Structure 1
Amino acid sequence: MGPLTRLPDWQPRLHAWLRAVNGRPIEPGRHDCCLFGAGAIEAQTGVDIAAPWRGRYTTMAGGRRVLRKSGHADHVALIVALLPEIHASAAREGDIALVETAGELAVGLNQGAAIYVLTETGRLSFAELTPATRVFKVG
């Protein structure tokens, strides 16, 4: 996959997508933190980077197995393979961020000074963007 390019109308597309998914129940393989990040990328670029994995697992352990079979140790390795990592100070709205939650790295979406993350109920919440947060450039 080559570099991603944000569409000219990426901001309204991203905002509409965020409104549409806010509160959608977590469902591994259909709507989880990784697919939340992939959906945000698709809203901005028109490219579904998760197409090879979407719908192929029903548990988070199953998701990890599917990723390993495709050559990625985990969701972090997949993100590293697909997007360029940048310093948190260079993050802009719509970039992907990895946030530590309950001892694991969850995929979130930079919105400026904070990061959108999914809660267990599927509602959007905010996490703090810190210099220690790993951020990946979209387009």
Structure 2
Amino acid sequence: MKRLSFWRAALGAYINEVKGHPFEWGVFDCALFAAGAVTAMTGVDFATDYRGSYSTLKGGLRLLKARGFETHADLAAAHLTEIHPSHAQVGDIAAVSVDDAGLFALGVVQGARVIFLKPEGGLGTMDLLGAERAFRV
């Protein structure tokens, strides 16, 4: 996947645009937030078939499993090159474990921090060193 020549401006505009959007499964959750960032930077939306197709975490995971993916991080890995988190750069996607069941939150790398969509809405950041997986955009 190749970034557009104006990817930095497009990513900044995307993050500004969505920072006030409420969290909603299947409409605007952490995976769709990260996929939207990839779309802003590349023009390619690998989550098109998932948007609006589920309304709960269980429903989203069931849809992923039906398509051969264990988690949304595995979906990202199918479309982006997986890299060690220490090699992630601005605009790459990072996955941070959110529980002991192997679920991940996806976010967008911004230097030493990763921007994530918070379940209560709005954006937050986490340290990139806490990421377990990362994907080159």
Give TM-score scaled by structure 2 length: 0.92
Matched, 1:64 2:77: no
Query: Structure 1 residues 32-41 or 127-136, which shifts more?
Result: 127-136
Which residue of structure 2 aligns with residue 108 of structure 1?
A: 107
Offset of residue 66 of structure 1: 1.0
What does residue range 121-136 of structure 1 map to in structure 2 within 5 Å? 121-130=120-129, 133-136=132-135
Query: Structure 1 residues 128-137 or 5-14, which shifts more?
Result: 128-137
Offset of residue 131 of structure 1: 6.9
Offset of residue 132 of structure 1: 5.3
Q: Distance in 2 between matches of 1:7 and 1:82?
A: 16
After superposing on structure 2, the runs of 4+ consecutive aligned residues of structure 1 that deviate more than 2 Å are: 100-104
| Conservation of the 8 A alpha-carbon contact between 2:96 and 2:131 | no
Q: Distance in 1 between matches of 2:112 and 2:58?
A: 32
| Conservation of the 8 A alpha-carbon contact between 1:23 and 1:121 | no
| Conservation of the 8 A alpha-carbon contact between 1:108 and 1:117 | yes
Name structure 2 gaps, 5 residues minimum.
none
Structure 2 residue corresponding to 1:81, chosen from 78, 81, 98 = 78
| Conservation of the 8 A alpha-carbon contact between 1:87 and 1:131 | no
Which residue of structure 2 aligns with residue 39 of structure 1?
A: 36
Question: Counterpart amino acid of 2:117?
Answer: L
Q: Deviations over 1:81-104 (max 9, x none)?
A: 221111222211110000123443
Count of aligned positions: 135
| Conservation of the 8 A alpha-carbon contact between 1:109 and 1:117 | yes
Q: Distance in 2 between matches of 1:133 and 1:65?
A: 23
What does residue range 84-99 of structure 1 map to in structure 2 within 5 Å? 84-99=81-96
- Cα RMSD of the aligned pairs, angstroms, is 1.4
Question: Counterpart amino acid of 2:34?
Answer: G
Question: Counterpart amino acid of 2:126?
Answer: A
Question: Counterpart amino acid of 2:38?
Answer: I
Which residue of structure 1 aligns with residue 7 of structure 2?
A: 10
Query: Structure 1 residues 95-104 or 21-30, which shifts more?
Result: 95-104
| Conservation of the 8 A alpha-carbon contact between 1:97 and 1:110 | yes
2:126 is paired with a residue whose SS is strand
